[in-house]
Amino acid sequence: MASFVRHYLLAIQFFTRIPVTGRLAAWVGFSPAMLRASAAHFPGVGWLVAAVCAAVAALCLAAWPGQGFAPLVAAVLCTAAGIYMTGGFHEDGLADVADGLGGSVERARALEIMKDSRIGAYGAMALVLALLAKVALLALLGAQADRGASALLAALCGGHVFSRWCPLVIVRSLPHVGDAAQSKSKPLADQITNTALAIAGSWCFVPLALVFIAEGAPFLIAGMAGSLLALWWMRRLLARRLQGFTGDGLGATQQLCEIAFYLGAALTLRTP
């Protein structure tokens, strides 16, 4: 149990702004092997992000009940809360992948562009479109008068957790590429086992069960199907263009799978 907690806290420390410092950080410790083991707890990080985003959205809808723009405000603020919690880590990966793959058809040059901290035209366009898609879909889910806040909160719960399981499939099935010495993803990339995937999947069980209870099977299945389709597309793209994955590729995968979950769920909505 102590190892489980240490690995989970290390995942929180690595992928969020939540402070794990001082004596707690000393107790958690760090090693490449521990970081590798913490990969199994990435969906557990999604629990925290989803909880904060859902709380912000619920407060907004409660503050302005029945107001036409309340779902839009809720969507904007809960998206901002999620970005603040993670430091925009995954969004940065999406922008870098868009710059790299959009800026060059040559593998080596694409990898070089992805290492550049500056954002280019392709990255800016991808980032803006991704944020617009999130906000629009969440606002649509929150605007369902017959469901109250249920559809929006369920989508946040399922989307943030399940989208953090999806990149682990890529870690398991593709080799890491790029500069291993400078890559933050390398320590967790070289040994991801089926057992780790199963542990990560167990983190998804309760949130997805809550989505099922709150919104029903079609909502859940459509959301998961959207994420899995995005995962399949990203894995195919990374395998074809880079012959493997980078840390940025994992961040981009998480972002697209999250958006695809919202899209799939939204497609099950029916107007009165």
pLDDT given for residue 58 in this prediction: 94
Domain hosting residue 101, numbered range: 48-266
Helices 217-242 & 107-115 angle (0-180, nearest 10): 110
Q: Does residue 30 fall inside a structural domain?
A: no
Q: Does residue 37 fall inside a structural domain?
A: no
pLDDT in tens, 82-99: 999 999 999 999 999 999
pLDDT given for residue 179 in this prediction: 65
Give the span between the Cα atoms of 271 and 145, in whole angstroms: 10
> Does the pLDDT value for residue 194 go beyond 90?
no
Residues written for the chain: 272
Mean per-residue pLDDT, 40-51: 95
Please state, as a whole number, how many other Cβ atoms lie within 10 Å of the Cβ of residue 133.
Answer: 17
Residues sharing a CB contact under 8 Å with residue 60, sequence separation 6 or more, in sequence order: 70, 73, 74, 77, 78
Confidence of residue 169 (pLDDT cuts 50, 70, 90): very high
Give the span between the Cα atoms of 269 and 264, in whole angstroms: 10
pLDDT given for residue 178 in this prediction: 67
Give the span between the Cα atoms of 32 and 39, in whole angstroms: 11
pLDDT given for residue 7 in this prediction: 87
Query: What is the total count of domains within the chain?
Result: 1
Q: Does residue 65 fall inside a structural domain?
A: yes
Regarding predicted confidence, which is higher, 237 or 29? 237
pLDDT in tens, 131-157: 999 999 999 999 986 676 899 999 999
Q: Does residue 39 fall inside a structural domain?
A: no
Regarding predicted confidence, which is higher, 195 or 264? 264
Q: Does residue 5 fall inside a structural domain?
A: no
| Portion of the chain with pLDDT greater than 70, in percent | 93
Please give the model's pTM, rounded to 2 decimal places.
0.93
* Mean of pLDDT over the chain: 90
pLDDT given for residue 4 in this prediction: 84
pLDDT given for residue 2 in this prediction: 79
pLDDT given for residue 5 in this prediction: 87
> Does the pLDDT value for residue 223 go beyond 90?
yes
Q: Does residue 106 fall inside a structural domain?
A: yes
Q: Does residue 212 fall inside a structural domain?
A: yes
Q: Does residue 186 fall inside a structural domain?
A: yes
CB 151 within 8 A of CB 141: yes
> Does the pLDDT value for residue 234 go beyond 90?
yes
Burial of 245 (0-12, 13-18, 19+ CB in 10 A): buried
CA 75, 126, 258, 143 torsion-angle sign: positive
pLDDT given for residue 116 in this prediction: 86
